[in-house]
């Protein structure tokens, strides 16, 4: 019996109710008649996924269902820290690579799970703290996201960083004790390593509007306002015998912050309500235009980490359960979405990035005073992440470069939304092709990450 699970079920809000169908303009209402989870979800612009245990990929019944019904996969354990970096600096990608190959051969997208989590850390990391742990964890994010670059649709960059109960605060952990900015440092490192992946925060006991989900909501709102590169929030949804009446409203309030939302680890206690709860969750996702997919945490009841709860959509024999039919019907009945073109591009974090529809300025005359730059630093002992804001002067810019002179011992290890020349001493950052042209007064941002200290750096901006 898993203690964590007992805790989760105990705090599930005990209110079952019909979910309000709050459609938005981007939803299109057409019933469809798909006959598999993946086809029905795809008809509505969504994916339907499953967590996959590597050793089950040789089980025929399992693989038959996986490939027939699911068009997204996530490693149940194979991409976690203990699996991918069992000794510091020795990376093992066998299990993750096998899942990626399976997905590529079968037309499935891959969710990466999870770069940083307080559980399932290798022993060496559990025994670390302070700046050594901070460097090790950022290195882990960088190495793993780089290895899988281009192959992961969405990464759970940080998993389960908030406490249960009424505090709405961060959970205490060795990661948290490296400094409150550890989450944003992880997101910046993940963005730099795989600019094409959507970057998500993922948690449980967030199945309605409660203290924990509100704590996370406030963090995401803060990240969006400061340009920290977060694209999505995962709601694990390990559910008991009821579904909170504000489950959908909770998804919607996150979506309204400009992030996508997904149901990432769905499983439901068996019993009279199981099929209804599965359907309620599915309807809630369908009614939120930014809810882009649903993943169940396993395939058949006997594959589930929840042991005897019979928490999934298929019997061990492979037969479909009543809950399967209720999910399929809810997918077919639900509104569709056209994937939103307004989702910010992966390499342009932050709300201050100029929208792609901004007309290019008329060619401004070059001038040395054509732009200004300011830097904001998140530092810890041994490392930093710098966000640099570039503001065009009254003539606008065709291109820009920003120079910073780093103190001795400091070095740039990653850059996003700019190209760096040099890594120590005076480092020059030049615009990339989409953010060089700025109208008068227009602002863009780029960032870089490094080791050592960047305290006191003053950027100088030159326009062309
Ligand atoms: C679980 C796996 O299913 C188990 O096989 C493993 O022993 C423990 O972890 N939240 C998460 C998942 O984010 O990674 C967990 O997966 C379930 C809870």
DSSP labels, 82-108: HHH-SBTTB---HHHHHHHHHHHHTT-
Nearest to 76 by CA among 60, 48, 99: 99
Nearest to 259 by CA among 225, 307, 286, 287: 225
pLDDT at 241: 96
77 CA → ligand 1 middle, Å: 7
- Would you say the CB of residue 378 lies under 6 angstroms from ligand 1? no
d(CA 183, CA 85): 19
Closest ligand 1 atom to 297 CA: 3
Closest ligand 1 atom to 264 CA: 13
- Would you say the CB of residue 159 lies under 6 angstroms from ligand 1? yes
User: Which positions of the chain have pLDDT values less than 70?
Assistant: 1-30, 338-369, 434
d(CA 206, CA 209): 7
163 CA → ligand 1 middle, Å: 17
80 CA → ligand 1 middle, Å: 10
pLDDT at 385: 79
d(CA 173, CA 192): 25
- Would you say the CB of residue 305 lies under 6 angstroms from ligand 1? yes
Instruction: Confirm if 67 and 103 have CB atoms less than 8 A apart.
Output: no
pLDDT at 27: 67
Tell me the best of 80, 156, 262, 305 to mutate to test the pocket of ligand 1, counting ligand atoms within 8 Å of each CB and taking the most. 305
Three-state DSSP class for residue 116? strand
415 CA → ligand 1 middle, Å: 33
Question: Strand runs (DSSP E) across 324-392, as ranges?
Answer: 336-337, 371-380, 383-392
pLDDT at 28: 65
190 CA → ligand 1 middle, Å: 22
What residues act catalytically?
160, 265
Instruction: Confirm if 128 and 136 have CB atoms less than 8 A apart.
Output: yes
Q: Six-digit token pair at 393?
A: 């002067």
Three-state DSSP class for residue 115? strand
CA atoms in the 13 A half-sphere facing the CB of 206: 31
pLDDT at 450: 87
Closest ligand 1 atom to 156 CA: 13
pLDDT at 440: 84
Residue whose CA lies nearest to ligand 1 atom number 16: 76
pLDDT at 25: 39
Residue whose CA lies nearest to ligand 1 atom number 13: 159
- Would you say the CB of residue 77 lies under 6 angstroms from ligand 1? yes
d(CA 388, CA 444): 8
Residue whose CA lies nearest to ligand 1 atom number 7: 305
Residue whose CA lies nearest to ligand 1 atom number 12: 76
205 CA → ligand 1 middle, Å: 14
- Would you say the CB of residue 206 lies under 6 angstroms from ligand 1? no
| Tokens 């025929």 belong to residue | 60
Q: pTM surpassing 0.85?
A: no
Residue whose CA lies nearest to ligand 1 atom number 3: 305
316 CA → ligand 1 middle, Å: 20
Residue whose CA lies nearest to ligand 1 atom number 15: 76
């Amino acid at each position: 019996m898993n203690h964590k699970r007992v805790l989760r079920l105990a705090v599930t809000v005990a209110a079952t109710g019909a979910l309000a169908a709050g459609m938005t303009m981007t939803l299109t209402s057409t019933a469809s008649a798909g006959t598999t989870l993946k086809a029905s979800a795809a008809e509505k612009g969504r994916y339907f996924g499953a967590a996959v245990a590597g050793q089950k990929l040789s089980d025929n019944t399992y693989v038959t269902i996986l490939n027939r019904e699911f068009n997204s996969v996530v490693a149940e354990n194979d991409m976690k820290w203990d699996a991918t970096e069992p000794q510091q600096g020795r990376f093992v990608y066998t299990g993750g690579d096998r899942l990626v190959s399976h997905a590529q051969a079968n037309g499935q997208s891959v969710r990466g799970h999870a770069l940083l989590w307080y559980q399932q850390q290798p022993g060496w990391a559990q025994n670390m703290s302070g700046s050594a742990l901070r460097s090790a964890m950022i290195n882990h994010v960088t190495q793993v996201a780089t290895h899988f670059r281009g192959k992961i649709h969405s990464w759970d960059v940080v998993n389960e960083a908030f406490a249960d109960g009424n505090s709405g605060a961060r959970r205490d952990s060795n990661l948290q004790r490296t400094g409150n900015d550890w989450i944003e440092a992880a997101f910046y490192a993940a963005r730099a390593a795989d600019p094409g992946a959507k970057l998500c925060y993922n948690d449980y006991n967030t199945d309605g509007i409660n203290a924990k989900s509100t704590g996370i909501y406030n963090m995401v709102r803060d990240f969006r306002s400061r340009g920290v590169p977060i694209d999505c929030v995962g709601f694990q949804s390990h559910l008991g015998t009821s579904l909170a009446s504000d489950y959908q409203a909770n998804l919607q309030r996150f979506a309204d912050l400009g992030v996508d939302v997904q149901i990432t680890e769905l499983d439901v206690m068996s019993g009279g309500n199981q099929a209804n709860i599965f359907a309620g969750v599915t309807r809630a996702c369908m009614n939120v235009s930014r809810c882009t997919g649903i993943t169940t945490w396993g395939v058949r009841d006997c594959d589930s980490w929840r042991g005897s709860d019979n928490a999934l959509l298929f019997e061990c024999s492979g037969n479909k359960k009543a809950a399967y039919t209720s999910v399929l019907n809810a997918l077919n009945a639900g509104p569709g979405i056209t994937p939103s073109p307004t989702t910010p591009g992966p390499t342009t974090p932050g709300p201050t990035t100029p929208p792609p529809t901004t007309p290019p300025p008329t060619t401004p005359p070059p001038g040395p005073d054509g732009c200004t730059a300011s830097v904001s630093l998140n530092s810890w002992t041994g490392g930093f992440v710098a966000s640099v804001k570039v503001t065009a002067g009254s003539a606008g810019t065709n291109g820009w470069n920003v120079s910073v002179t780093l103190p001795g011992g400091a070095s740039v290890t990653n850059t996003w939304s700019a190209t760096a020349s040099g890594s120590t001493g005076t480092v020059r950052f030049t615009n990339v092709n989409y953010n060089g042209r700025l109208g008068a007064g227009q602002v863009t941002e780029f960032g870089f990450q490094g080791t050592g200290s960047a305290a006191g750096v003053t950027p100088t901006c030159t326009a062309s």
